[in-house]
Amino acid sequence: MAPFGLTVLRLCVGAVFIAHGAQKLFAVWAGPGLAGTATMLGSLGFPYGYPLAILLALTEFVGGIFLILGGLTRWVALALAIDMGVAIWKVHYRHGFFMNWSAEPGLGHGVEFTLVLLAAVLCLALAGPGALSIDEWRSQSAEAEARGRARMRKV
């Protein structure tokens, strides 16, 4: 059953990243859209806010889709880990550990949620996608093909 634990993690984290990427890309669910994301990145001191906003939004949105499908999981998880590491460093660290549950004005969210997402994608990068994934299917196909070649050499 252990591979299914990774599957549950992969599906849940993928859904979270799709939602956050959609906020940045399409301005849905009270998201800022590309223009708002670019403005936010500029206020954090990043140059080239709009191209970086596109990269960030696509990394989260497409990365979430790839996580759900279980394709290129380790590479996607690494990209998302970098995304979360930068978010902790540039956005959340200065606000402490906890989220701003009371929505107190002027106080942002701490690292709590972002740290959990970072740990989750690092887990997927290290352990793999688990069951029911494109990566698992490709791995099984490659192993079967290699066994077939090995049998042919014995003949």
pLDDT tens for each residue of 121-139? 999 999 999 999 999 998 8
Q: CB-based contacts of 37: which residues, under 8 Å, 6+ apart?
A: 24, 49, 53, 56, 57
* pLDDT surpassing 90 at residue 106: no
The CA angle 65-51-53, to the nearest 5 degrees, is 55
Q: How far apart are CA 10 and CA 123, in angstroms?
A: 10
Residue 155 pLDDT grade (very low, low, confident, very high; cuts 50, 70, 90): low
The sign one gets for the Cα dihedral 90, 119, 32, 48 is positive
The angle, 0 to 180 degrees and rounded to 10, between the axes of the packed helices 73-87 and 49-69 is 140
Nearest residue to 77 via CA among 119, 121, 115, 117: 121
